[in-house]
Structure 1
Amino acid sequence: MKRIKTDLCIIGAGSGGLSVAAGAVQMGADVVLIEGHKMGGDCLNYGCVPSKALIAAGKAAHAMEAGDPFGVTAAAPKIDFNRAKAHVADVVKTIEPHDSVERFEGLGVNVIQEYGRFISPTEIQAGDTIIAARRFVIATGSSPLLPPIPGLDTVPYDTNETIFEQTKRPDHLLIIGGGPIGMEMAQAHRRLGCQVTVIEGGKALGKDDPEMAEIVLRNLKSEGIEIAEDALASEIRGAAGAIEVKTHDGRVFKGTHLLMAVGRKSNIERLDLEIAEIEVENNLIKVDAGLRTSNRKVYAIGDVASPLQFTHVAGYHAGIVIRSALTAMPAKARTYHIPWATYTDPELAQVGLTEAEAREKYGAKLEVLRFDFSGNDRLIADGKARGLIKVMVVKGKPVGASIAGPQAGELINTWALVIANGLKIGAVAAMVAPYPTVSEINKRVAGVYYSPRLFESNTVKRVVRAVQKWLP
Structure 2
Amino acid sequence: MPVKGVSVLKRQRLVIIAIIAVVVAVFFASGANEALTLDNLKAEQTRFQAWLAEDPLTVGGGFFVIYVVMAALSLPGATLLTVLGGALFGLGWGLLIISFASTLGATLAFLIARTLARGPVERRFARQLESVNRGIAREGAFYLFTLRLIPLFPFFVINLVLGLTRMRTWTFYWVSQVGMLPGTAVYVNAGRELGQLESLGGILSPGLIVSFTLIGIFPLLARRLVEFAKRRRLAREYGKPGGFDYDIVVIGGGSAGLVASYIGAAVKARVALVERDRMGGDCLNTGCVPSKALIRASRVAQEVRDAGRFGIEVGKPRIDFAGVMAHVHQAVRDVEPHDSPERYRGLGVEVVHGEARLLTPWEVRVGERVLTTRHVIIATGARPRIPALPGLDDSEVLTSDNLWQLESLPERLVVLGGGPIGCELGQSFARLGSRVTVVEMAPQLLPREDHDIAAQLALRLENEGVQLRLGTQALRIEPGPSHGDRGKVLVIERAGEQGVDTERLVFDRLLVAVGREANVGGFGLEALGVLPRDDGTLEVDETLRSLHPNIWACGDVAGPFQLTHASAHQAWHATVNALFGEVKRFAVNYRNLPAVTFTDPEVARVGLNEREARQQGVEYELTRYDLSELDRAIADGRIQGFIKVLTVPGKDRILGVSIVGHGAGELLGEFTLAMTHGLGLNKLLGTIHSYPTFSEAAKASAGVWKNAHKPERLLGWLERYFTWRRRGGPIDELRHSLRERDDKA
The alpha-carbon deviation at position 447 of structure 1 amounts to 1.3
CA contact (8 A) 2:491 2:504 kept: yes
Q: Which amino acid in 1 is paired with 2:634?
A: I
Residue matched to 2:573 = 320
The alpha-carbon deviation at position 261 of structure 1 amounts to 0.7
1:397, 1:234 → 2: CA distance?
Answer: 46
**Distance of aligned partners of 1:187 and 1:330 in 2 relative to their CA distance in 1, 3 Å threshold:** same
Q: Which amino acid in 1 is paired with 2:595?
A: W
Among candidates 232, 248, 273, match of residue 8 of structure 1: 248
Map 1:145-160; keep pairs closer than 5 Å: 145-160=385-400
Deviations 1:207-254 (A, max 9, x none): 111110110110011000001112211101227940211124421111
Tell me the matched-pair count: 468
CA contact (8 A) 1:336 1:352 kept: yes
Root-mean-square deviation (CA, aligned residues, Å) is 1.9
Residue matched to 1:28 = 268
Identity %: 36
The alpha-carbon deviation at position 118 of structure 1 amounts to 1.2
The alpha-carbon deviation at position 356 of structure 1 amounts to 2.4
CA contact (8 A) 2:449 2:611 kept: no
Tell me the TM-score normalised to structure 2 length: 0.61
Deviations 1:407-436 (A, max 9, x none): 011111112122222322222111111000
Tell which structure's C-alpha radius of gyration is larger: 2
Residue matched to 1:389 = 643
1:65, 1:105 → 2: CA distance?
Answer: 47
Instruction: Tell me, yes or no, if structure 1 residue 208 matches structure 2 residue 449.
Output: yes
Residue matched to 1:411 = 667
Give the secondary structure class of the aligned counterpart of 1:281: coil
**Distance of aligned partners of 1:338 and 1:344 in 2 relative to their CA distance in 1, 3 Å threshold:** same
1:467, 1:286 → 2: CA distance?
Answer: 67
Among candidates 411, 423, 426, match of residue 171 of structure 1: 411
CA contact (8 A) 2:420 2:597 kept: yes
1:142, 1:9 → 2: CA distance?
Answer: 19
The alpha-carbon deviation at position 468 of structure 1 amounts to 8.4
2:284, 2:348 → 1: CA distance?
Answer: 22
CA contact (8 A) 2:416 2:514 kept: yes
The alpha-carbon deviation at position 467 of structure 1 amounts to 7.7
Give the secondary structure class of the aligned counterpart of 2:522: helix
Structure showing the higher strand proportion among its residues: 1
Tell me the TM-score normalised to structure 1 length: 0.95
Instruction: Tell me, yes or no, if structure 1 residue 372 matches structure 2 residue 626.
Output: yes
2:392, 2:667 → 1: CA distance?
Answer: 40
Residue matched to 1:97 = 337
Give the secondary structure class of the aligned counterpart of 2:526: coil
Residue matched to 1:115 = 355
Give the secondary structure class of the aligned counterpart of 1:284: coil
CA contact (8 A) 1:4 1:129 kept: no
Higher mean alpha-carbon deviation, 274-283 vs 342-351, is at 274-283
Give the secondary structure class of the aligned counterpart of 2:259: helix
Among candidates 534, 554, 560, match of residue 307 of structure 1: 560
**Distance of aligned partners of 1:331 and 1:429 in 2 relative to their CA distance in 1, 3 Å threshold:** same
**Distance of aligned partners of 1:271 and 1:470 in 2 relative to their CA distance in 1, 3 Å threshold:** farther
Instruction: Tell me, yes or no, if structure 1 residue 247 matches structure 2 residue 492.
Output: yes
What runs of 5+ residues in structure 2 fail to find an aligned partner? 1-242, 495-501, 730-745
Residue matched to 2:431 = 191
Q: Which amino acid in 2 is paired with 1:369?
A: T
Instruction: Tell me, yes or no, if structure 1 residue 256 matches structure 2 residue 508.
Output: yes
Residue matched to 1:232 = 473
The alpha-carbon deviation at position 205 of structure 1 amounts to 1.1
The alpha-carbon deviation at position 74 of structure 1 amounts to 4.6
Give the secondary structure class of the aligned counterpart of 2:527: coil
CA contact (8 A) 2:520 2:532 kept: no
The alpha-carbon deviation at position 82 of structure 1 amounts to 0.3
The alpha-carbon deviation at position 360 of structure 1 amounts to 4.4
The alpha-carbon deviation at position 399 of structure 1 amounts to 0.7
Higher mean alpha-carbon deviation, 298-307 vs 80-89, is at 298-307
The alpha-carbon deviation at position 325 of structure 1 amounts to 2.3
Residue matched to 2:307 = 67
Residue matched to 2:654 = 398
The alpha-carbon deviation at position 469 of structure 1 amounts to 6.2
Give the secondary structure class of the aligned counterpart of 1:400: strand
Q: Which amino acid in 2 is paired with 1:220?
A: L
CA contact (8 A) 2:550 2:578 kept: no
1:5, 1:93 → 2: CA distance?
Answer: 33
CA contact (8 A) 1:243 1:258 kept: no
Give the secondary structure class of the aligned counterpart of 1:143: strand
2:314, 2:420 → 1: CA distance?
Answer: 29
Among candidates 687, 690, 696, match of residue 434 of structure 1: 690
Q: Which amino acid in 2 is paired with 1:226?
A: Q
1:98, 1:270 → 2: CA distance?
Answer: 28
The alpha-carbon deviation at position 101 of structure 1 amounts to 1.1
The alpha-carbon deviation at position 362 of structure 1 amounts to 5.1
2:280, 2:704 → 1: CA distance?
Answer: 43
Higher RCO, Cα 8 Å, sep 6+: 1
Give the secondary structure class of the aligned counterpart of 2:479: strand
Structure showing the higher helix proportion among its residues: 2
CA contact (8 A) 1:4 1:130 kept: no
Higher mean alpha-carbon deviation, 16-25 vs 202-211, is at 202-211
Give the secondary structure class of the aligned counterpart of 1:399: strand
Higher mean alpha-carbon deviation, 180-189 vs 241-250, is at 241-250
CA contact (8 A) 1:121 1:275 kept: no
Instruction: Tell me, yes or no, if structure 1 residue 445 matches structure 2 residue 701.
Output: yes
Among candidates 278, 289, 306, match of residue 542 of structure 2: 289
Residue matched to 2:585 = 330
